[in-house]
Structure 1
Amino acid sequence: MKCIAFFVFLSLLIFKDAPAQQPNVIYDEANVPEYKLPDVLTRFNGGKVKSAKVWYKKQRPEILKKFTEEVYGKVPGKLEISDVKVWETSNDAINGLAIRKQLSLFFKKNDRNLEVNVLMYLPKSQRKAPVFLAYNFSGNHTVYSDPNIRLTESWVNDNPSVGIINNRVTEQSRGSDSESWQVENIIKAGYGLVTVYYGDIDPDRNDFSDGIEPFFYQPNQTHPKYDEWGSIAAWAWGLSRVMDYLEKDEQVDSQKVAVLGHSRLGKTALWAGANDQRFAMVISNESGCGGAALSMRKFGETVQIINTNFPHWFCGNFKKFNDNEADLPVDQHMLLALIAPRPLYVASAEGDKWSDPRGEFLSAKYASAVYQLLGSEGLPIKEMPEVDHPVMGTIGYHIRSGKHDLTSYDWTQYIKFADKFFK
């Protein structure tokens, strides 16, 4: 059995790294084809956006509509939290520094029920704490080595190296991703962490028979329509429902919630922040294609590759742009501009060419025009900074040494950025 588990784990590693080995992937700037980005301050009818009023009344809604229809998909209905159950609260977590709260949000419609488990760590030193809200990849119990955290019962991607086998977690996986979360440092800095396993909203597989999507199906419908949400939009919807709860939690400063995500969940955080302006800050950690990176650059992962490997992430209409990025009516700098004038942080990693660090930087750079129109600084530089030299205007950016990951270095910058605007 150990040999079988080892080879399963090895195959997972190979699969994880496989996309970067695909043929015809561009990793050389000299081979990037010419492209022309749509101007974020030029309307689709050709008119120019010269005032904040026109941005808010005309341009912003039109850009949001294009992304909804052609990239992420629309949410086909409304559904509120039907019930909240607090499982436990401890005032002596993390060596007495924090309050731990575990609760479930329940959603019900017709004969369907969905339970979303929320883990919260809040600093005891503050009556109302600013918080980072972020999805985790394998269950709330993986973010910190705390035996009191409930093990997820949801479907989870296999990872035999930490005891996740047959899509079910075990005690072995407890605290297995704690390096990515830096919970103690977050608490000591005066912030709370609110985290949810993203698979509680929608399991990350090409199957729309479970998760939140079927709650909105019409009779005989088995799959979202071409202009309806893929998994990223569903996960973003879930973040907004957690925000609904946080607005009512007296221990949370709901005016200071930073939504954060890494990789596919970085894409999710950006789309959540674009749709829901209650998020006071948005942080994208190496979100790549369909996130912060420009699609039309065709560097690293492309629209065709991502739609082939993960056909469930975006709406069906997005597949029209497979190897056809030039026909996109919008590009990702326009997504970042939808966050304006709220603080936005975009981060890259030097060893993560798959996510196109330069494309992520350029996206932040071009989004700055809207920040400046609305009276804020935007990104304070015009050329990419050196590795491990963060810059922080109203848009922050860094490219760090290392590979695709969420690290203590990243968290140090995000805490500094939050300090700038939340304290």
Structure 2
Amino acid sequence: MEQKIPEVLQDAAGAVITDRKVWEQQRGRIYELLCDQEYGFLPPPPEQISFRTVERQEDFCASKAVYERVEIRVQVSGKEFAFPVHAVVPAVVSEKPMAFVHINFRSNVPDEYMPSEELADGGFAVFSFGYEDVTKDNRDFSDGLAALFPAGSRNGNAPGKIALWAWAALRVMDYLQTREDVDLKNVAVVGHSRLGKTALLAAASDERFAFAISNDSGCSGAAVTRGKKGERVADITKMFPYWFCENYKAYAGREEEMPFDQHFLLALIAPRKLYVSSAQEDQWADPPAELAGCRAASPVYGLYGLGGLVCGEESPEANAVFPEGNIGYHVRKGTHYLSRYDWQRFMEYLRLHRN
């Protein structure tokens, strides 16, 4: 990257952080900074939450899996809202399956972005929801879940849509806590593109996620912003201002003035596992900037006696995979897409690093 990025292991006075306890205090400040200046603060947990299975298929995927559609109903300030979650759990396993919470663009099961049968064949459960079943991907903050958290004129650090989708992912994790057929020590939250940004924020907000996986999340996701090619803060806040809090607009064209960069978000996931994937031809997301984010977040893992990204300094070739570290990474051939190749690498990473 051409511009110097801020050090994540540096306190307000500029001193280098070498102590894990000091980092834990710094972590809280960084999380609040990112919520205040980029995503908006996630709403508090609901006052009430309930789960109801409304459909069940025992013979899903040629009887290799059980499918359930579950209604999650929440109450906030006396108002109720419900959205569906789709569960596909392998029918026969030798041990409790690890699980993905997939924030998807659609509610289809399976879906072009989610090979449900292949995941079940691999021994994984997947709990997915269509993001627009939560709140629409537009400027309307009276829609769906957003209506429960009045944003008024959306000044300052009121939550953007990414924060609301992340909040919904946390409620899916609440549901998983009620299941005895899933390995709760090994749950990954995963998303693609804008929902990759959402998955990272969800994992930063909730330590119950043992793994965070972002695919092609790019600007305001895994990619370091300073020196980034392709999409920048000015682009994303012009096209999609409602994804973020209003404060974020102040950095359009002024990224060098941000008191943070995206490796701060990645660092919040330590010491848990993080996996970032890129597509070689996705220049708008800028794979080198995503890899730079992984490199810059890695020193935080050292405070826990862990390695971060295990990758040489050279630029990796297409289909290069680096799964050994507590930060994993791959870059595949092709364009902006969540492919079977990506899911195969995610499954391999979870198997390799199972808790």
The answer to whether the Cα contact below 8 Å between 1:117 and 1:196 also exists between their aligned partners in 2 is: yes
Which residue pairs with 1:358 in the alignment? Answer: 288
Which residue pairs with 1:117 in the alignment? Answer: 84
Write the distance in 2 (CA, Å) between the matches of 1:382 and 1:204.
38
Write the distance in 1 (CA, Å) between the matches of 2:328 and 2:206.
20
TM superposition shift of 1:82: 3.0
2:146 pairs with one of 194, 208, 213: 213
Could you say which structure has the larger radius of gyration? 1
The answer to whether the Cα contact below 8 Å between 1:214 and 1:222 also exists between their aligned partners in 2 is: no
> Any runs of at least 4 consecutive aligned residues in structure 1 with deviations exceeding 4 A, and if so which?
none
Query: In structure 2, do the counterparts of structure 1 residues 91 and 422 end up closer, same or farther at CA, with 3 Å as the change threshold?
Result: farther
In structure 2, list runs of 5 or more residues that go unmatched.
none
Query: In structure 2, do the counterparts of structure 1 residues 51 and 343 end up closer, same or farther at CA, with 3 Å as the change threshold?
Result: same
Which residue pairs with 1:37 in the alignment? Answer: 5
The answer to whether the Cα contact below 8 Å between 2:48 and 2:76 also exists between their aligned partners in 1 is: no
Write the distance in 2 (CA, Å) between the matches of 1:409 and 1:270.
20
TM superposition shift of 1:53: 1.5
2:202 pairs with one of 259, 263, 272: 272
Which residue pairs with 1:174 in the alignment? Answer: none
The one-letter amino acid of 2:27's match is R
The answer to whether the Cα contact below 8 Å between 2:86 and 2:109 also exists between their aligned partners in 1 is: no
Query: In structure 2, do the counterparts of structure 1 residues 200 and 80 end up closer, same or farther at CA, with 3 Å as the change threshold?
Result: farther
1:182 matched to 2:115? yes
1:388 matched to 2:323? no
Aligned residues: 352
The one-letter amino acid of 2:319's match is D
1:137 pairs with one of 105, 111, 114: 105
Over aligned residue pairs, what C-alpha RMSD do you find?
Answer: 1.6
TM superposition shift of 1:303: 0.3
Write the distance in 1 (CA, Å) between the matches of 2:83 and 2:153.
22
Q: Secondary structure at the match of 2:34?
A: helix
1:230 matched to 2:196? no
The answer to whether the Cα contact below 8 Å between 1:213 and 1:224 also exists between their aligned partners in 2 is: no
The one-letter amino acid of 1:51's match is D
The one-letter amino acid of 2:256's match is A
The answer to whether the Cα contact below 8 Å between 1:43 and 1:49 also exists between their aligned partners in 2 is: yes
1:283 pairs with one of 210, 213, 222: 213
Per-residue CA distance 1:123-172 (angstroms, 9 max, x = gap)? 1123632111111112x2x232xxxxxxxxxxxxxxxxxxxxxxxxxxxx
1:93 pairs with one of 43, 60, 63: 60
Decide which moves more: 68-77 or 388-397: 68-77
Instruction: Provide the TM-score with structure 2 as the length reference.
Output: 0.95
Which residue pairs with 1:418 in the alignment? Answer: 350
TM superposition shift of 1:48: 1.6
1:315 matched to 2:248? no
TM superposition shift of 1:335: 0.9
Write the distance in 2 (CA, Å) between the matches of 1:110 and 1:284.
32
TM superposition shift of 1:77: 3.7
Write the distance in 2 (CA, Å) between the matches of 1:397 and 1:386.
12
Q: Secondary structure at the match of 1:279?
A: coil
Which residue pairs with 2:182 in the alignment? Answer: 252
The answer to whether the Cα contact below 8 Å between 2:47 and 2:76 also exists between their aligned partners in 1 is: no
Q: % of aligned pairs identical?
A: 39
1:48 matched to 2:12? no
Which residue pairs with 1:400 in the alignment? Answer: 332
In structure 1, list runs of 5 or more residues that go unmatched.
1-31, 145-177
Query: In structure 2, do the counterparts of structure 1 residues 94 and 381 end up closer, same or farther at CA, with 3 Å as the change threshold?
Result: same
Decide which moves more: 126-135 or 60-69: 126-135
The one-letter amino acid of 1:399's match is V
Which residue pairs with 1:10 in the alignment? Answer: none
Which residue pairs with 1:66 in the alignment? Answer: 33
Per-residue CA distance 1:343-402 (angstroms, 9 max, x = gap)? 111111011000010000000011111112211111011423221010111111111100
Q: Secondary structure at the match of 2:68?
A: strand
Write the distance in 1 (CA, Å) between the matches of 2:85 and 2:114.
15
Which residue pairs with 1:377 in the alignment? Answer: 307
Which residue pairs with 1:196 in the alignment? Answer: 129
